[in-house]
Amino acid sequence: MSTTASRESKRRAKNDQELEGKRDSVRFTEIEFIVLCCQYWRKVDDLMEVVECVPNFSTSDPKTVDSILAEIKKIKDAFLLDVTFDSYYNRLVVSFVGNKKSVLQAALNASLRAVELIDMRKHRGQHPRIGAVDIVPFIPIKNVSMEDCIRLAKEFGRTLAEKCKVPVYLYGDASPKNERGDVDWIREGDYEKLEENIVKPERKPDFGPAEFCAKSGATVTGARKVMAGFNVNLGTADLKIAKKIAKALHSKKGGFSNVKAMAAFIPEQNITQIGMSINDFEKTPLYRVFEALKVECARYNIPIIGSEFCGLAPLKALIDTAWYYLKTDNLSQGRVLEIAIQDAIEKGSKPE
C-alpha cells in the first residue's frame, strides 16, 4: 500500500516539475494541453481492455525460463501474474495480462525466444506436449470478446509459423467444433509421434508447413474461457494406481465432462500427483471433482496430502467451495469484500 502511495507521490512530483518548467513560459497552447491529457488518459484507456495469455513452454531450465520471461517483461502494458515450472513435468506455465496489442507482442516475443532456446529432441517430461511452445491460449478478461481472442490466436499462430517455420494448430474456440479443436486429439502420440502424424491429410496444420520440425515440434494456439488448473498430491508413490485414479476423473474415460486428468510421479517427494484442468469450473465445480477424487482414493486407502492451483485460482471456484463446504447461500463475487471495494471505487458511484 505504501509503495503505491510512494510511487503516486513521485509521479505527481514529476508532473509538478513539468508544470514548474511551464511557468517560465507564461502561456501555452491548447494543443500542448491536449497532448498532455491524452498521454495521461491513454494510459488509463490502454488498461481498460484486459486479455490474459497462459503460454506453456516445454522447459524447466531456470536460465531458459528467465530468458523467456524477460521477453514478456520488456513489453510495456504486459504484466506478469504467475510463473510455475517444475522438473517432473519439465514444463513452464506463464500467466500474463495486458491489452490486445501488448499481449500479442509479448506472446510472440516469448515464443520466438523459446523456439530459439528449446530443443525438443532432448526434452523428456511427464506432461503431454508436442512442441517447445506447446500451447498458447488467449482468454478474454475485461472489455474483450472471445472473437477478439480468436483473432489474436490466429494472428499469433500465423506470425509464429511465418517467422519460425513451426507448424501451428488452432484449438478450442479458435477452431471449428470438431475433433480438430480438441487439444488431446492434436497432441495424440505427443512429440514422439509428430513426425509420423504431421503428414497425414487430416492433421495438416492451420499455419506453417506440414513438415516435422525436429527442434521445435509444433504449437497449439487458441482462445478459451478462464480455466482452473488444479493438482492434488497423493500419499503414494505408486504411479500405476495414480493413473487409475486419474482415469476415473477424465472426461474421455468415464469421468466428469469438463475435466482432463493425468497422473505424474514427483521424485523429489516420492509421491504422485493428479494434475487436472477443469475447463468449466462453473458447471463442474472443484469441490465435486475433489470429492470424487476422495472416493477413488478411498478404494486404495490412499490419503490426499495436499493440493495446489496450477496458475491462478478463479474467485468463483473459491466461492463455490464455500457454497458447498460451509453451505453459504448468499455469496457472489460482488459480496467479497476486496472485490466490492474495488468495484465501488471504479464505478465512482453509489451502488444500491
Count of CB atoms situated within 10 Å of the CB of 179: 12
C-alpha to C-alpha distance for 160 and 165, rounded to whole angstroms: 7
What is the closest distance, in whole angstroms, from the C-beta atom of residue 29 to a second copy in the complex? 6
Count of CB atoms situated within 10 Å of the CB of 294: 13
Nearest CB to a second copy, comparing residues 38 and 214: 38
Query: Is 201 a residue that touches a second copy (CB under 8 A)?
Result: no
In the chain, the amino acid numbered 292 is A
Chain residues 40-59 in contact with a second copy, contact rule CB under 8 A: 40-41, 43-45, 47-48, 50, 52
Query: Is 29 a residue that touches a second copy (CB under 8 A)?
Result: yes
Q: Which of 61, 80, 60 is nearest to 70 (CA)?
A: 80
SS3 assignment for 101-115: HHHHHHHHHHHHHHH
Beta bridge partners of 53: 96, 138
What is the closest distance, in whole angstroms, from the C-beta atom of residue 63 to a second copy in the complex? 16
Query: Is 35 a residue that touches a second copy (CB under 8 A)?
Result: no
User: How many residues are present in the chain?
Assistant: 352
Query: Is 142 a residue that touches a second copy (CB under 8 A)?
Result: yes
> Are the CB atoms for 305 and 233 separated by under 8 Å?
yes
Which is the catalytic residue, given 91, 100, 123, 127?
127
Phi, psi (rounded to 5 degrees) for 292: -65, -40
Nearest CB to a second copy, comparing residues 79 and 212: 79
Nearest CB to a second copy, comparing residues 59 and 273: 273
Chain residues 58-87 in contact with a second copy, contact rule CB under 8 A: 72-73, 78-83
Chain residues 235-274 in contact with a second copy, contact rule CB under 8 A: none
Q: Which of 118, 122, 99, 120 is nearest to 110 (CA)?
A: 118
C-alpha to C-alpha distance for 165 and 66, rounded to whole angstroms: 24
Binding test (CB under 8 A) with a second copy, winner from 10, 13, 26, 201: 26
Query: Is 340 a residue that touches a second copy (CB under 8 A)?
Result: yes
Chain residues 176-195 in contact with a second copy, contact rule CB under 8 A: none
Binding test (CB under 8 A) with a second copy, winner from 35, 141, 210, 298: 141
Active site residue 127: yes
Q: Which of 121, 213, 137 is nearest to 171 (CA)?
A: 137
C-alpha cell, 112:
520466438
Query: Is 232 a residue that touches a second copy (CB under 8 A)?
Result: yes
Binding test (CB under 8 A) with a second copy, winner from 257, 269, 270, 328: 328
Query: Is 313 a residue that touches a second copy (CB under 8 A)?
Result: yes
Catalogue the active-site residues: 127
